[in-house]
Structure 1
């Protein structure tokens, strides 16, 4: 294991592409009648990437006691919370438009959202920001990682992956696919769903450390091909394998790890590297901000506001989210995280590594 200073630019691009595909999944009719696809599996890719990146950045530091599990969790909260909190006022406005200005209900929803207490709401465990359900499991997996998973061998981690996959498959057979964990009735399957990919990501990084594959010469071309492959996969119509969730598990257990492994074995340069880094930089802002925005537009239409719902109008919203994500990252998220990090770690040598790792991660 190293000190966590490696930076996999290819993984940044994969995370950015995955966030964009999730955003298109949640357009709420803004882009017109878009057929549902399997981009819900982008969340599983996020969990896989999170396992790889957190193992790269923190595993040795946790194992040697350089950082405590409690401080690690605080750093994860600092990484994920600022933009998440920024999204909640939009979620509150949306809920008020849909159900009326009930201050008691809105206060309850806000407190639950801040503390990440799942709601019994049948429409989703976290109604103020639907996609934030994965952040709950990201924080849970991170806590488990810092206290237990770093102490387990790769064989035990693989056994955990397979066991969690079996339990998740049990729930997926009821739903028809792997798009489970965010619903109130299937919330328990979110714990096993995150473990499948997160534990596998830790194993993948450990294997990378042992094998150290040769860096591909054509890193730019391979990186772009991997991004195109991910776009193709996530655009497969959901109806194609609905009721047969084994295909979803094939992607999560075999195809996604292979894509990530290849991405880890490449290095990009020039314009491609710049674009890949920005994709990673914008991935979390896009992921955590897009849901409330599209839901708010949908609520405004339901209230009678004549807002256009066409592909052209939808793309304007998409580009606006890109701009908003960039502004939020540069002028809000990164400065706030820097100040909070300095508050808990005034000594720069003990501060969090300069590695972008969310997602969300989730994102």
Structure 2
């Protein structure tokens, strides 16, 4: 087994678990009344993991000129856009059900959605797929990685991470917690929110290159414990620390990097490895598809459709989304991305499977 496979397996699981935690946060009442929790920090974990993975996969290639910043951005678009575009028709139908059939407005919003331009005059930056706000900021961070961050020292990256955390802290103090960046009124803080976690991820990769952690002999157990730890953290009630966002920053600046660093020193085998890899494989399809689906269900319920809203019905919807994510990943996303890579390059870059799975929110 290659070191690359060892390196990524537990990170795939962490991303998959985080994506599932986000599903439960956005159930829109399908599971009945749910107390808000701090699973919104899953987005910060996504940014941290992306910093690690993209630095691992592309930093050296960008520095040596093997791939240009434009080529790198094209790879990111190929990674993120197919499923995002697939989600837009669902979001469009949901928007029509809620707001009516105004063709001029719909065409304008659809064009913005395709071009990934935020809608600053609405309640959501991306009304056809609200969770995709984080993709916008991750693409921005990817561009910054390709032209600037790869050239900075570890000390400079840490300084940027802490400065960005300080800026995000200001927004979090205004809002009461770190659940900011997706609102038009807090849009500017989305840049600082992604930058501090993304930069920390690059730092973790740099430290990994200098001092690789010893592979844990009980990697299956350690990996499962890390996933359990993440679930426990995500289920802390949001009201517990609302108005005291320092706890959110403690989780993002200390707890998450520690979990990821430990995960980078583990190797999974057998059934656990298979499950972890599927969690990673499903993480992005789950994340990008669940928002429009729940939004559509919520819109239909508001229009008087008698849709069940119980824990049993909600779990059926969640399971259906996970199954649909698997089908879409295997039958649509992965084949389309392979075809696009072949189209843009005579010698398509050979990247690790884990890179393909993890290279997106």
| TM-score bin, normalised by smaller chain | over 0.9
Tell me if the contact between 2:12 and 2:354 (Cα under 8 Å) persists in the aligned partners. Answer: no
Number of matched pairs: 360
C-alpha distance in 2, partners of 1:213/1:37?
Answer: 32
Shift of 1:355: 3.4
Question: Are 1:10 and 2:14 counterparts?
Answer: no
Which stretch shows the higher mean deviation, 77-86 or 118-127? 118-127
Partner residue, 1:356:
355
Determine the C-alpha separation between the residues in 1 that align with 2:82 and 2:29. 28
User: What is the match of residue 169 of structure 2?
Assistant: 169
Map of 2:116 onto structure 1: 116
Structure 1 residue 354: deviation in Å? 3.8
Indicate conservation of the 8 Å contact 2:7/2:265, yes or no. no
Give the RMSD, CA atoms, in angstroms. Answer: 1.5
What residue is the counterpart of 1:49 in the other structure? Answer: 49
Q: What SS class does the counterpart of residue 178 from structure 1 fall into?
A: coil
Q: Structure 2 unaligned runs (5+)?
A: none
| Contact kept? 1:342, 1:351, Cα under 8 Å | no
Distance 2:244 2:34 in 1: 22
User: Which residue of 1 is the match for residue 232 of structure 2?
Assistant: 232
Distance (whole Å) between structure 1 residues aligned to residue 274 and residue 314 of structure 2: 27
**Partner residue of 1:200?**
200
For 1:31 and 1:84, the matched residues in 2 are separated by 25
Match of 2:338 in 1: 338
TM-score, normalization: structure 1?
A: 0.97
Kindly state the Cα deviation for residue 122 of structure 1 after the two structures are TM-superposed: 4.0
Contact kept in structure 2, 1:52 and 1:202, CA below 8 Å = yes
Query: Matches of residues 96-107 of structure 1 in structure 2 within 5 Å?
Result: 96-107=96-107
CA contact 2:125–2:182 (8 Å) conserved in 1:
yes
What does the per-residue CA deviation read over 1:99-150, in whole Å, with 9 as the maximum and x for residues that have no partner? 1111111111111111111102442111110100000001000010011100
Alignment correspondent of 1:221: 221
8 Å CA contact 2:19, 2:42 repeated in 1: yes
Give the distance between the partners of 1:347 and 1:115, measured in 2 at CA.
Answer: 28
Distance 1:34 1:27 in 2: 9
Decide which moves more: 333-342 or 107-116.
107-116
Post-superposition offset of 1:93: 0.3
- Residue 258 of structure 1 corresponds to 258
